[in-house]
């Protein structure tokens, strides 16, 4: 199967501009700026069915089309490189091994939408990816691919790399914008959407690293070709991050229509020590878990949605038969409780309550009505908050209780211990 | 002892960062990172200077300090170990590694050894699940880890083999 982005991961020094150029890099951007109209690029991206690969899976071309072009305000491009969804590590590979691909995608995007200033928001912990990216941006300026008169045309674009400071919520696009403005990352109420009122109150395109990195391929080989690689409304391939109890954890670039079973058993080497699979997180920690009976699902956004989960960030976490689902859920809810920004009560309080109840269940101090209480709290987590953190926490949380309820019941004592000993 | 953070030289560097943004305050995070890299932490006095430099209330700076996990008001140890505890790492033994390090260093996660050599923290997903269980040691990602590997790394730091 042909690799697009990940082909570069295996080429030595593909992070340098010289190797990237040898491999045909910047050809799409050069040709597009000289020969194509901005509208043509936008149409190509729209027709390619490229979906937002950060988590939401929204049509990339559609997102661009919401940006008003003649407000008199500048339009900004913001790249979401705040990769933080647990189980996801693919953007790190792009930033480290082929940062010029992202830069080329940014040039094409900027040209298509009429943008002259871009920010890359990279998570604060990423050190080597940041250094590689910075080197690449400097090289691109040196070659005249950024700055004024790009490729000898009148088009100009500046890129600023902005490092985050450790907060999952800043991967949420409006939380990211707040953070980029120098504030705490409290997500914004939508509408207005960032396309209309985004960074510094201006129209803003926000896309994930991987999403933008596919654009040079789409421009080079056409939207039809890209769309055909995937399923009906999910164009192309995507980078799946696979981890947990598998023999060969790593990043696998595969067509959207691949099944979860194929990814785990044919690419990631199957389960460690030939154990049985118990459950899988298919699209980052916020996605509903799937059981061993659900592995034949296709991994595109629509198919995963149809089984009540989501494609999310493409982060696949595999759990084998030795896994305690109670413990796994405790760790999961600990994450959400820790990362809830605290702005909305249902999320701030709800994730914390759930985490504390799970903690006591794990400690063998569960109470008979704990599961009912958990379900009650869970019911109000989603749909009641400004951003999707709580929706994700809810989706993951309820799936554990629905699919593995008996495991929770087993560890909760039938009677309250304190009363029993009184 | 309080040092002036915004010396003329530092102010020049901060001004340069601010020039990247149409709104000055947007440079708050990068400028704070720079201070922390220079001084190891952002002190209460530094917070006031930051507020002054950006012309924002000191409470806003405190908000940034407490909201973001990468800002510290006290310096971390020479060797700062952050063990990832989120699902992929947890499945592969992060909990055991944390307990082992707590025992080995005689501190709880979140603390620094008395000699200032080591700090131990638990971290949420660091985006390196392919090398789970992993840790960030100072700026470096290391994994997959075992107790033995961690022990070796500790020894190296202790003997000053690495800087």
Instruction: Report pLDDT digits (tens) over A295-332.
Output: 999 999 999 999 999 999 999 999 999 999 999 999 99
The predicted structure's pLDDT at residue B55: 98
The predicted structure's pLDDT at residue A1: 80
Same domain, B146 and B88: yes
Which of residues 61 through 80 in chain B touch A, CB cutoff 8 A?
A: 63-64, 67-71
Angle between helices A38-47 and A99-113 (to 10 degrees): 120
Q: How far apart are the first and last CA of chain A?
A: 66
pLDDT digits (tens, 9 = 90+) for A121-135: 999 999 999 999 999
From chain B, the residues in CB contact with A93 under 8 A are none
Phi, psi of A312 (to 5 degrees): 45, -130
Establish if B74 belongs to a structural domain: no
The predicted structure's pLDDT at residue A365: 92
- From B67, B94, B110, the end of a domain falls on B67
In 3D space, the residue among A244, A278, A316 whose CA is nearest the CA of residue A407 turns out to be A278
Question: Taking a C-beta distance cutoff of 8 angstroms, is the pair B90, B134 a contact?
Answer: no
Q: How far is B142 from chain A (nearest CA, A)?
A: 12
d(CA B103, CA A303): 47
Provide the pLDDT confidence category of residue B2 given band limits of 50, 70 and 90.
low
In 3D space, the residue among A115, A118, A38 whose CA is nearest the CA of residue A73 turns out to be A115
Structural domain count of chain B: 2
Establish if B72 belongs to a structural domain: no
Question: Taking a C-beta distance cutoff of 8 angstroms, is the pair A192, A200 a contact?
Answer: no
CATH architecture of A6-229: 3-Layer(aba) Sandwich (3.40)
Number of helical H runs and strand E runs in chain B: 7, 4
d(CA A85, CA A78): 18
Q: How far is A152 from chain B (nearest CA, A)?
A: 24
Which residue from A92, A162, A242 is facing B127, i.e. has the nearest CB?
A92
Q: What is the DSSP letter of A350?
A: H
The predicted structure's pLDDT at residue A420: 56
Q: How many CB pairs under 8 A join A and B?
A: 141
Query: How crowded is residue A250: how many other Cβ atoms within 10 Å of its Cβ?
Result: 20
The predicted structure's pLDDT at residue B156: 84
Percent of chain A with pLDDT over 90: 97
Which of A182, A187, A210, A278 should be substituted to probe chain B, the one whose Cβ sees the most B Cβ atoms within 10 Å? A182
The predicted structure's pLDDT at residue B157: 79
Which of residues 9 through 68 in chain B touch A, CB cutoff 8 A?
A: 20-23, 25-30, 32-33, 54, 60, 63-64, 67-68
pLDDT digits (tens, 9 = 90+) for A151-183: 999 999 999 999 999 999 999 999 999 999 999
From chain A, the residues in CB contact with B90 under 8 A are 327-328, 331
The predicted structure's pLDDT at residue A194: 98
d(CA A92, CA B127): 8
Establish if B124 belongs to a structural domain: yes
Strand partners, A120: A79, A161
Q: Are strands B79-84 and B135-137 parallel, antiparallel or unpaired?
A: antiparallel
- Window from A97-111, A207-221, A405-419 with minimum mean pLDDT: A405-419
Q: How far is A252 from chain B (nearest CA, A)?
A: 11
Same domain, B102 and B46: no
From chain A, the residues in CB contact with B125 under 8 A are 84-87, 168, 285, 335
Question: Taking a C-beta distance cutoff of 8 angstroms, is the pair A112, A218 a contact?
Answer: no
CATH number for the segment(s) A237-320: 3.10.20.600
From chain B, the residues in CB contact with A166 under 8 A are 68-71
Could you tell me if B120 lies within 8 Å of chain A, comparing CB atoms?
A: no
d(CA B133, CA B83): 8
In 3D space, the residue among A66, A130, A140 whose CA is nearest the CA of residue A96 turns out to be A130
d(CA A385, CA A262): 36
Query: How crowded is residue A22: how many other Cβ atoms within 10 Å of its Cβ?
Result: 12
What's B93's domain CATH number? 3.40.30.10
pLDDT digits (tens, 9 = 90+) for B83-113: 999 999 999 999 999 999 999 999 999 999 9
Assess whether the previous peptide bond of A192 is cis (omega < 30° from 0): yes
pLDDT digits (tens, 9 = 90+) for B19-29: 999 999 999 99
Residue written as tokens 């006591």? A360
The predicted structure's pLDDT at residue A405: 97
Same domain, B85 and B145: yes
What residue of B is the nearest CA neighbor of A324?
B91
Distance of CA B35 to the CA centre of its chain: 12
Residue A274 has pLDDT above 50, yes or no: yes
Query: How crowded is residue A312: how many other Cβ atoms within 10 Å of its Cβ?
Result: 27
Which residue from B23, B25, B87 is facing A87, i.e. has the nearest CB?
B87
- State the residue range of the domain holding B49: 8-67
DSSP A120-159: EEE-TT-SHHHHHHHHHHHHHHHTTSSBSSGGGSS--BEE
The predicted structure's pLDDT at residue A421: 57
In 3D space, the residue among B91, B86, B67 whose CA is nearest the CA of residue A85 turns out to be B86
The domain segmentation of chain A, as residue ranges, is 6-229, 237-320, 325-411
Q: What is the DSSP letter of A312?
A: T
The predicted structure's pLDDT at residue A413: 86
Q: Are strands A277-281 and A76-81 parallel, antiparallel or unpaired?
A: unpaired
Q: How far is B127 from chain A (nearest CA, A)?
A: 5
How much is the pTM? 0.96
Same domain, B63 and B111: no
What's B18's domain CATH number? 1.10.10
Which residue from A88, A124, A251 is facing B70, i.e. has the nearest CB?
A124
CATH number for the segment(s) A325-411: 1.20.1440.230
Q: How far is B27 from chain A (nearest CA, A)?
A: 6
Same domain, B13 and B60: yes
Q: How far is A173 from chain B (nearest CA, A)?
A: 16
Q: What is the mean pLDDT of residues A74-92?
A: 98
Q: How far, CA to CA in Å, does A23 sit from each of A26, A74, A92, A248, A325?
A: 9, 34, 21, 28, 46
Neighbour order of strands in the sheet with B118-123: B118-123, B79-84, B135-137, B140-142
**pLDDT averaged over chain A?**
96
Distance of CA A61 to the CA centre of its chain: 17
pLDDT digits (tens, 9 = 90+) for A324-358: 999 999 999 999 999 999 999 999 999 999 999 99
Provide the pLDDT confidence category of residue A273 given band limits of 50, 70 and 90.
very high
Which of residues 320 through 339 in chain A touch B, CB cutoff 8 A?
A: 323, 327-328, 331-332, 334-335, 338-339
d(CA A199, CA A186): 14
d(CA A18, CA A26): 11
- From B18, B33, B67, the end of a domain falls on B67
Same domain, B84 and B151: yes
Which of B23, B29, B36 should be substituted to probe chain A, the one whose Cβ sees the most A Cβ atoms within 10 Å? B29
pLDDT digits (tens, 9 = 90+) for A127-157: 999 999 999 999 999 999 999 999 999 999 9
d(CA B68, CA A15): 30
What lies within 8 Å, CB to CB, of B44 at 6+ separation is: B73
Same domain, B13 and B57: yes
Residue written as tokens 């044919």? A266
Establish if B41 belongs to a structural domain: yes
d(CA A247, CA A377): 37
């Amino acid at each position: 199967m042909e690799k697009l982005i990940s082909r570069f991961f295996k080429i030595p020094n593909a992070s340098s501009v010289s190797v990237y150029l040898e491999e045909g890099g910047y050809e799409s951007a050069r040709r597009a700026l000289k020969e194509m109209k901005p509208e043509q690029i936008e149409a190509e991206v729209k027709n390619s069915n490229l979906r937002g690969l950060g988590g939401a899976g929204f049509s990339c071309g559609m997102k661009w089309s919401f940006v008003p072009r003649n407000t008199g305000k500048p339009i900004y491009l913001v790249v979401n490189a705040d990769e933080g969804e647990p189980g996801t590590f693919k953007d790190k590979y792009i930033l480290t091994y082929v940062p010029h691909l992202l830069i080329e995608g940014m040039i094409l995007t900027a040209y298509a939408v009429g943008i002259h200033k871009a920010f890359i928001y990279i998570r604060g912990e990423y050190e080597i990816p940041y250094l590689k990216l910075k080197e690449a941006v400097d090289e691109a300026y040196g070659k005249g691919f950024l700055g004024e008169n790009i490729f000898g045309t009148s088009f100009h674009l500046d890129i600023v790399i902005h490092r985050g400071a450790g907060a999952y919520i800043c991967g949420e696009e409006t939380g990211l914008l707040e953070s980029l403005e120098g504030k705490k990352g409290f997500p914004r109420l939508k509408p207005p959407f960032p396309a209309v009122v985004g960074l510094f109150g201006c129209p803003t395109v926000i896309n994930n690293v991987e999403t933008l990195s596919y654009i040079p391929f789409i421009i080079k080989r056409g939207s039809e070709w890209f769309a055909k690689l995937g399923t009906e409304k999910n164009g192309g391939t995507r980078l799946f991050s696979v981890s947990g109890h598998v023999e060969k954890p790593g990043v696998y670039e595969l067509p959207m229509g691949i099944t979860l079973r194929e990814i785990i058993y044919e690419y990631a080497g199957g389960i460690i020590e030939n154990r049985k699979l118990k459950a899988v997180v298919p699209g980052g920690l916020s996605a509903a878990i799937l059981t061993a009976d659900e592995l034949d699902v296709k991994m595109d956004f629509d198919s995963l949605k149809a089984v009540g989960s989501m494609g999310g960030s493409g982060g696949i976490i595999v759990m084998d038969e030795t896994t305690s689902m109670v413990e796994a859920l405790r760790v999961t809810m600990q994450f959400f409780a820790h990362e809830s920004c605290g702005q909305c009560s249902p999320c701030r309080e709800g994730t914390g309550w759930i985490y504390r109840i799970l903690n006591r269940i794990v400690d063998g101090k569960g109470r008979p009505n704990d599961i009912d209480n958990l379900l009650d709290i869970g019911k109000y987590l989603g749909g009641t908050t400004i951003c999707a953190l709580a929706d994700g926490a809810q989706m993951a949380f309820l799936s554990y209780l629905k699919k593995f309820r008996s495991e929770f019941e087993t560890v909760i004592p039938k009677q309250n211990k304190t009363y029993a000993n009184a | 002892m309080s040092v002036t953070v915004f010396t003329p030289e530092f102010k020049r560097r901060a001004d340069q960062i601010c020039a990247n943004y149409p709104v000055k305050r947007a440079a708050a995070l990068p400028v704070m990172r720079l201070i922390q890299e220079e001084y190891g932490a952002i002190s209460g006095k530094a917070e006031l200077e930051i507020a002054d430099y950006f012309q924002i209330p000191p409470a806003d700076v405190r908000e940034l300090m407490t909201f973001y996990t990468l800002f510290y008001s006290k310096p971390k140890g020479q060797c700062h170990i952050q063990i990832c505890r989120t699902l992929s790492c947890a499945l592969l033994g992060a909990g055991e590694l944390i307990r082992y390090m707590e025992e080995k260093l005689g501190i709880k996660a979140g603390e620094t050894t008395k000699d200032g050599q080591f700090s131990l923290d638990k971290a949420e997903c660091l985006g390196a699940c392919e090398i789970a269980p992993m840790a960030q040691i100072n700026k470096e990602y290391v994994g997959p880890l075992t107790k033995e590997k961690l022990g070796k790394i500790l020894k190296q730091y202790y003997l000053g083999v690495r800087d």
